[in-house]
């Protein structure tokens, strides 16, 4: 997508109303009211504790073999957000939201298998033998994946954790917008992203000042088939 694509969003009609304040934290209300919000109060600063609480909920998400390949880079310094701005197609939410969370996927996350499965031995959920079985299988499978295969796993798990993050933020009264509109190469260089950490998406997080667009969706019938194509 080019710069014009990202600029065009400014011409789309959005209501001047603020994002809806949630009256409850009912899951269905949160799912309905979460929207991609692109206008933020630049003076509002979310606390580090609240960002951490949101991330703590996000990391309860499921992942392939429970390897939890997600890694988060929380960008809160204004100067750094300004450096990110041109890399992310000058999208205003990059500079105005309280923080931008870069969700990354570690393509070598399988190296934590011993630690993750060892914890299950310690809490009595499995024997040392079963743990060794799993760790060997994981090393064998994930360790031999092609670059594309490893990347796909990181992207799938990174997508799942991202959605959980956005719903957790909404439940706490904050707004978000996921962004794929950035140059991953430039991002990796500028932010010194470690090897094997692939950018999944950027998420602006803060206090929205204008609601996102009205929800429009294809009908369920158009996207669902039962039993067989
Ligand atoms: C992977 C991904 C990448 C996206 N990239 C951008 C982006 O770069 N800029 C933007 O303004 N919105 C971006 N969006 C938001 C979508 O436009 C938005 O989710 C969609 O229009 C549905 O609206 P809703 O999130 O308000 O329900 C992205 C969404 C996803 C899931």
Q: For 40-86, how does the pLDDT look when each residue is reduced to its tens digit (9 = 90+)?
A: 999 999 999 999 999 999 999 999 999 999 999 999 999 999 999 99
Ligand 1 atom closest to 215 (CA): 27
Q: Classify 192 in phi/psi space as left (phi over 0), alpha (psi -120 to 50) or beta.
A: left
119 falls in which pLDDT band (50, 70, 90)?
Answer: very high
DSSP 36: B
Quote the pLDDT of residue 191.
98
What ranges do the domains of the chain cover? 42-109+151-208
Instruction: Give pTM, 2 decimals.
Output: 0.95
Q: What is the mean pLDDT of residues 196-201?
A: 98
CATH architecture of the domain covering 42-109+151-208: 3-Layer(aba) Sandwich (3.40)
- What is residue 25's three-state secondary structure? coil
13 lines ligand 1 (CB under 6 A): no
Q: Which residue has the CA at smallest separation from atom 12 of ligand 1?
A: 179
The pLDDT of residue 185 is above 90: yes
For ligand 1, atom 6, the nearest C-alpha belongs to: 179
pLDDT at 171: 97
Q: Is the shortest distance between the CB of 163 and ligand 1 below 6 Å?
A: no
Q: Which of 16-30, 59-73, 103-117 has the lowest mean pLDDT?
A: 16-30
Distance 104 CA to ligand 1 centre (A): 17
* Protein residue with least CA distance to atom 22, ligand 1: 36
Whose Cα sits closest to atom 17 in ligand 1? 36
């Amino acid at each position: 997508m080019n710069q014009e694509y990202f600029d065009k969003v400014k011409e789309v009609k959005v209501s001047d109303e603020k994002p809806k304040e949630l009256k409850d934290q009912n899951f269905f209300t949160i799912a309905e009211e979460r929207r991609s919000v692109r206008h933020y109060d630049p003076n509002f600063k979310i606390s580090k504790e609240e960002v951490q609480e949101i991330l703590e909920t996000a990391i309860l998400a499921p992942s392939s073999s429970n390897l939890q390949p997600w890694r988060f880079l929380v960008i809160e310094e204004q100067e750094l957000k300004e450096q990110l701005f041109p890399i992310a197609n000058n999208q205003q939410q990059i500079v105005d939201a309280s923080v931008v969370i870069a969700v990354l996927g570690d393509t070598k996350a399988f190296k934590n298998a011993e630690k993750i499965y060892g914890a299950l031995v310690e809490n009595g959920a499995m024997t040392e033998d079963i743990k060794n079985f799993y760790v060997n299988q994981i090393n064998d499978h994930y360790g031999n994946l092609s670059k594309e295969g490893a990347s796909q796993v990181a992207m799938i798990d990174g997508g799942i954790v991202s959605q959980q993050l956005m719903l957790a933020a909404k439940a706490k009264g904050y707004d978000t917008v996921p962004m794929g509109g950035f140059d991953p190469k430039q991002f990796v260089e500028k932010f010194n992203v470690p090897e094997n950490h692939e950018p999944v998406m950027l998420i602006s997080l803060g206090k929205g000042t204008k609601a996102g667009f009205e929800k429009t969706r294809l009908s369920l019938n158009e996207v669902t088939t039962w039993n067989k194509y």
